[in-house]
Structure 1
Amino acid sequence: MRKIPPLAAVRVFEAAARHENFTAAARELGMTQAAVSHQIRLIEDHLGQMLFRRERQRVALTDTARRAAATIGTGLDMIESAFAEMRGDDEATLTISTTPTFANAWLAWRIGRFQMRYPDIAVRLLMQEGLADFSGDGVDVAVRSGHGDWPDLAAHRLIEQDFTPMCSPGFLAAQGGDIQPQDLLRLPLISPHDPSWACWLQQAGLAQIEARALHGIRMDSQANEGHAAIAGQGIAMLTPFFWKQDMSDRRLVQLFPQVSSLGMAYWIAYPEHRRRTRKIRRFCEWLLAEIGIASQ
């Protein structure tokens, strides 16, 4: 027989520990603050020790409770996943969270192939810049840029997030058909505030140039920056992988052989405890294969 407190109380403790705030936990669970306090006391009585230190206007986890909270949260995630896998509607829909750049410049052009291969899995695509909320937003997998070191997530490296200046053939022709690195200091750039510009210029031997000396329009994603460059609005710092077709079709021109990197990459990530979920496994296998084909 398992010697654990009532699961209802455990669920309350996990929320209270995550927020470290009884009011926020009550709001999330649809309970009163008094009911949350009551459930916490049940566990404390069961264990014979305090879980929270009651301070003036707040509560704080004890060291022992803080260590246990992470394990309990993982356990509840696994329970949730187990029940989710038993629900047909969960297995029938794959929710993907990704950046606007990865979606608009690459994934949206190919996701139909995945649905043709797995017609029983519907796809819901969310485009968001922030980190995915795997529980609150119902996200199954996320494609994100970074170093791949997200806690409690399994992550597979997709492509290096490298970059190099590009522009349209028309823009290049308007500059006499030739642009040198030092010309970037006077020409209109797209999102010159992005750290990739300073990195590339430094590696090109223009280390003395400060970012504020650059000028141009600011945009919120590489997808928009690439389209602005295609429209002839200036020079954009772009990842060649995303714009291969546009370069092949002569909508974009890579100005220099030098390609730089800040050490970032694009990754596919999902909760570690959902590694064996069929729809996640199928999508990861498909995406890694597609990336491999596109990289050739």
Structure 2
Amino acid sequence: MQPGIRTPEATIKHRHPVPLNALRAFEAAARCQSFQVAAGQLFVTPAAVSHQVKRLEAYLGVTLFQRGHRTVELTREGAALAASLGELFERLDLALDRATAATTADLRVSTVESFAAKWLAPRLHRFHRTCPALKVRVETGNAHADFANDGVDVAIRYGPGAYAGVAAARLMEAPVFPVCAPALLAPGAKPLAAPDDLRHHTLLHDESAAGHAGVPDWPAWLAAASATRVDASRGPVFASIYLAQEAAVAGHGVALGVAPLVEEDLRLGRLARPFQHALDNPHAFWLVHRHGADANPAIDAFCRWLRQEASGDARAAAAGP
């Protein structure tokens, strides 16, 4: 053999003849801590998952689960293997994402209804102009995105951050202030010149602040504005910011607007801002995806566009009216 020339035999690395289906079944069972839940994710029966795990245990010569009555618990060896496999399967998923990025034309985006309707939808045409071959599918819901099993590529969430096991970056701050239909400020309408004038108007509430310490609600805003003559409990309660905001647009009262979600309606004159006082919000809008997912050109392009749009909104807000 000539120096520096490697034969095919020399490049072959030793590989364990490990049963790959068994590894996949074990990783799912370890992640779910349940053979039954893992079976549902893999579209097989719990008995099939159990069989594959036993097959892997026989191959390795170690016990991976302590089995109880309808319960399973990882052994020390099982926990160590599960941690390594979780990382390996994550890297495999990312490698497959990169391999298919050149041929895929779909990008699945998960976000909350209010953000989709009030911020993303009015701007999405600008992304399509820059990336016309990429089809964006927008899905709404409040649950955390399951990047491993639901096929979601990018999520935008409204919350405190600190999302475990994923890459999360603050996209936009979310200060809160009152908004209403312009008709409520027109000559001849009920007074709305000072915060205490809100006693003449219906307060529109949403549930986004419920159970979240520090997230501004009407009692917090009225207290900060020194409005002592207003009953903060009055008015209907809506299940989402979006519904409360739409009620305000329709002239049914005054809502607390979250800045990024009311920017378009303020610009178009569908809403007006009766008072400039705003409250800081511990919740913000976060850009969330799997670790390393921005190596996928489609995900990277969409995330860069989101950040550019968000920074443009921030510059406009700083400039003022």
TM-score (norm 2): 0.82
Describe how 1:118-137 pairs up with structure 2 within 5 A. Answer: 118-137=131-150
Q: Residues 12-51 of structure 1: matches in 2 within 5 Å?
A: 12-51=25-64
Question: How far, CA to CA, are the matches of 1:218 and 1:97 in structure 2?
Answer: 25
Q: Please, which moves more after superposition, 116-125 or 78-87?
A: 78-87
Question: Secondary structure at 2:281's aligned position in 1?
Answer: strand
* Percent of paired sites with the same residue: 34
- Residues in 2 aligned to 1:199 and 1:122: alpha-carbon distance in whole angstroms: 42
| Residue of structure 1 in register with 2:261 after alignment | 242
Tell me which moved more, 138-147 or 83-92: 83-92
Distance (Å, rounded) in 1 between the aligned partners of 2:132 and 2:298: 11
Aligned positions of 1:45-194 closer than 5 A: 45-87=58-100, 91-173=104-186, 176-184=190-198, 187-191=201-205, 194=208
Distance 1:27 1:293, change over 3 A: closer
Q: Deviations over 1:239-261 (max 9, x none)?
A: 22332343244332223222113
Matched, 1:290 2:304: no
Unaligned runs of 5+ in 2: 1-13, 210-215, 316-321
- 1:167–1:235 Cα contact (<8 Å) kept: yes
- Paired with 2:143 and 2:229, the residues of 1 have a C-alpha distance of 33
Matches of 1:61 and 1:90, distance apart in 2: 39
| Secondary structure of residue in 2 paired with 1:246 | helix
- Greater Rg, structure 1 or structure 2? 2
CA contact (8 A) 2:35 2:46 kept: yes
| TM-score, with length taken from structure 1 | 0.88
The root-mean-square deviation of aligned C-alpha atoms, in Å, is 2.6
Would you say the 8 A contact 2:62–2:77 is kept in 1?
A: no
2:272 maps to 253
CA distance in 1, matches of 2:132, 2:158: 29
Instruction: Encode CA deviations 1:131-182: one digit per residue, 9 max, x unaligned.
Output: 1122332111111112332223222221112211111122244653325334
Say if 1:152 and 1:273 are closer, same or farther in 2 by CA, change over 3 A: farther
Contact 2:196–2:230 (CA under 8 A) maintained in structure 1: no
> Alpha carbons of 1:28 and 1:178: their partners in 2 closer, same or farther (altered >3 Å)?
closer
- Determine the structure 2 residue equivalent to 1:200: 221
Which residue of 1 is the match for residue 24 of structure 2? 11
The letter for the 1-side match of 2:43 is G
Give the SS at the match of 2:157.
strand
* Corresponding residue of 1:216: 235
- Return 226-235 or 192-201, whichever deviates more: 192-201
Q: Which AA in structure 1 matches 2:248?
A: A
Letter in 2 for 1:37: S
Partners of 1:71 and 1:162 lie apart in 2 by: 42
Change (3 A) 1:286 1:14: same
C-alpha distance in 1 between matches for 2:230 and 2:88 = 52
Which runs of no fewer than 5 residues in structure 1 stay unpaired? none
SS of 1:237's equivalent? Answer: strand
78-87 or 92-101: bigger deviation: 78-87
Once the two structures are TM-superposed, the CA of residue 185 in structure 1 deviates from its matched residue by: 5.5
